[in-house]
Amino acid sequence: MAKNLLEGGPSEGELVVCTVKEVKLNGAYTTLDEFENIDGFIFIGEIASGWVKNIRGFVREGQRLICKVMRARRDGRSLELSLKSVSDERRRDRLALWKNEERAKQLIKVLAEKVGWSDEECKDIQEELAETFVTLYGAFEEAATNPESITEVGFEGDWIKELIKLAIENIIPDFVEIRGKFILETDDPKGIEIIRAALLAAEDFSDEEAEVDITCHYDGAPSYRIELKAPDFKSGEAAWQNATKACIDTVLASGGSAEAERE
């Protein structure tokens, strides 16, 4: 189990957001953006794989980095960090998470002004939302995609309406999900092959480049399930229309009957 190396600080192995405040010949000194009064140091050997001739070719003052926590330093107030241990993919994911959380903190401040919360009240609600929904951004995301979820977990008050309004206006979900079912029937001797071709015709509208994913599942004849994910409502709706039409047309062409229904 990972342990906290400094009181109130991150755990060993955790990825942290930090800002470079000074670059020396042997490494870079940083602040940790999410932790007060805790600094970090990236030794030159942890800057990049291979030999680093000029450290300033990799880091500069004011630059925001994603680093891995290695160990506590001897001063007992700062941490040794590694930049080279973080892959590009993990760096992008962690930075996106941090940006989302910062955005959510700004929204909660706007909410506090709208409903007249004190600083203490704002802090308490922020902590409760983050604890309930894992992150504060997660709370806003849930409010945008499933408004009832806020009251379902026990939150009460007129402020919830303002929270939902802010969430819908400012938070865009990572993807849109559409679910539905097909009712497909045919008396053709090759009915199994026809149904299979119809479902594959729907799935053919998946588009990896456009981040549209369509899958069809068997629920028990004549019922089949379709699940669709897309990056936004517009592309999701277009994919739904094209996929269901392709499936239905395939079955109708064989003399069968077909219909699609969204959940």
Q: Let me know how long the chain is.
A: 263
| Structural tokens at position 201 | 């015709």
Across the chain, the runs of DSSP E, i.e. the strands, are 15-24, 27-32, 39-43, 64-72, 78-82, 176-185, 213-220, 223-230, 257-262
| Mean pLDDT on 54-77 | 93
Residue that terminates a domain, selected from 60, 86, 112: 86
Of the pLDDT bands very low, low, confident and very high (cuts 50, 70, 90), residue 209 is: confident
Same domain, 199 and 212: yes
Secondary structure class of 12 (helix, strand, coil)? coil
> What is the pLDDT, as a whole number, of residue 235?
86
Please check whether residue 2 lies inside any domain of the structure.
Answer: no
Q: In 3D, which of 167, 49, 159 has the Cα closest to residue 107?
A: 167
Of the pLDDT bands very low, low, confident and very high (cuts 50, 70, 90), residue 220 is: confident
Tell whether the model's pLDDT for residue 7 goes beyond 90.
no
* Averaged pLDDT of the chain: 91
Same domain, 24 and 82: yes
Q: What pLDDT digit, counting tens, does each position of 114-138 carry?
A: 999 999 999 999 999 999 999 999 9
d(CA 57, CA 74): 28
Same domain, 191 and 160: no
Give the total number of structural domains in the chain: 3
> What is the pLDDT, as a whole number, of residue 184?
93
Of the pLDDT bands very low, low, confident and very high (cuts 50, 70, 90), residue 2 is: low
Please check whether residue 10 lies inside any domain of the structure.
Answer: no
Same domain, 185 and 210: yes
Same domain, 70 and 96: no
Q: DSSP code of 77?
A: S
Of the pLDDT bands very low, low, confident and very high (cuts 50, 70, 90), residue 3 is: low
| Mean pLDDT on 5-12 | 86
Secondary structure class of 231 (helix, strand, coil)? coil
**Which residues, at least 6 apart from 156, have a Cβ–Cβ distance to it below 8 Å?**
none
Range of the domain at 235: 176-262
Residue that terminates a domain, selected from 66, 86, 106: 86
d(CA 86, CA 94): 10
Cis peptide before 222, with omega less than 30 degrees from 0? yes
The mean-pLDDT minimum among 2-6, 22-26, 63-67, 179-183 falls in 2-6
Q: What pLDDT digit, counting tens, does each position of 224-245 carry?
A: 999 999 887 788 889 999 999 9
d(CA 223, CA 217): 9
Is the distance from CB of 37 to CB of 26 less than 8 angstroms? Answer: no
d(CA 118, CA 131): 20
Q: What pLDDT digit, counting tens, does each position of 175-204 carry?
A: 778 889 999 999 999 999 999 999 999 999
